[in-house]
């Protein structure tokens, strides 16, 4: 069994759902070629989250963003408002979606489904750069 860990710094993105699969895969190029394993992707922030969802239809990110805004609107009477009107709804959305995803690895590749991608879910209007910790564990041939 072998372990591999690296960190990825994502460039700032506007509020919304952004595919980051290619950036995650690029960071894994130095990883041992696991015959079988797991990749854990963790975001080190409380106002952004990660999700695995459809990566083919360009309407999906917009629909996901609209649904999350309906679930946690800025107009709700939050007590925590010191960091701006988009901050507390961002914490709610991040709690609902989660701070990590796990993807199986087989023959040195991520085993995502045909229409699946890893999304950075940026819940702030201007969230800044985001940090991901990638930890892989598995068997090497």
Residue 28 DSSP class: G
What is the reported pLDDT for 105?
98
The Cα 12–Cα 53 span in angstroms is 21
Pairing relation of β-strands 130-139 and 36-43?
antiparallel
Mean pLDDT of the chain: 97
CB neighbours (10 Å) of residue 39? 23
| Mean pLDDT, residues 11-30 taken together | 96
130-139 sheet: strands from edge to edge? 2-10, 130-139, 36-43, 100-106, 109-110
Domains and CATH numbers, the chain: 11-139 (2.60.120.460)
Give the helix ranges, DSSP H, for the chain.
Answer: 21-27, 59-71, 87-97
- Residue 121 clears pLDDT 90, i.e. is over it: yes
pLDDT at 141 (0 to 100): 86
CB distance 104 to 112 below 8 Å: no
pLDDT over threshold 90, residue 97: yes
% of the chain exceeding 70 in pLDDT: 100
Helices and strands counted in the chain (H then E):
3, 8
Residues 119-141, mean pLDDT to the nearest whole number: 96
CA–CA gap between residue 58 and residue 45 (Å, rounded): 26
For the chain, state the CA radius of gyration. Answer: 16
Per-residue model confidence (pLDDT) at position 125: 96
Report the Cα–Cα distance between both ends of the chain, in Å, rounded. Answer: 10
| Pairwise CA distance, residues 6 & 25, whole Å | 12
pLDDT on residue 37: 98
Secondary structure of residue 42 in the 3-state scheme = strand
Average pLDDT over residues 9-33: 96
The per-residue pLDDT for 30 is 87
Confidence label for 52 from pLDDT (cuts 50, 70 and 90):
very high
pTM: 0.96
């Amino acid at each position: 069994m072998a372990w591999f860990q690296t960190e990825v710094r994502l460039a700032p993105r506007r509020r919304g759902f952004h595919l980051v699969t290619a950036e995650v895969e690029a960071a894994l190029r130095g990883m041992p070629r696991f015959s079988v394993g797991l990749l854990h992707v963790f975001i080190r922030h409380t106002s952004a989250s990660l999700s695995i969802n459809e990566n083919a239809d360009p309407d999906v990110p917009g629909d996901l963003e609209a649904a999350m805004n309906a679930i946690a609107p800025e107009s709700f009477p939050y007590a925590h408002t010191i960091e701006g009107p988009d901050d507390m709804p961002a914490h709610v959305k991040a709690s609902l979606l989660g701070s990590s995803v796990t993807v199986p690895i087989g023959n040195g590749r991520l085993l995502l489904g045909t229409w699946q991608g890893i999304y950075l879910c940026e819940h702030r209007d201007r969230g800044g750069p985001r940090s991901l910790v990638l930890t892989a564990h598995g068997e090497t041939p």
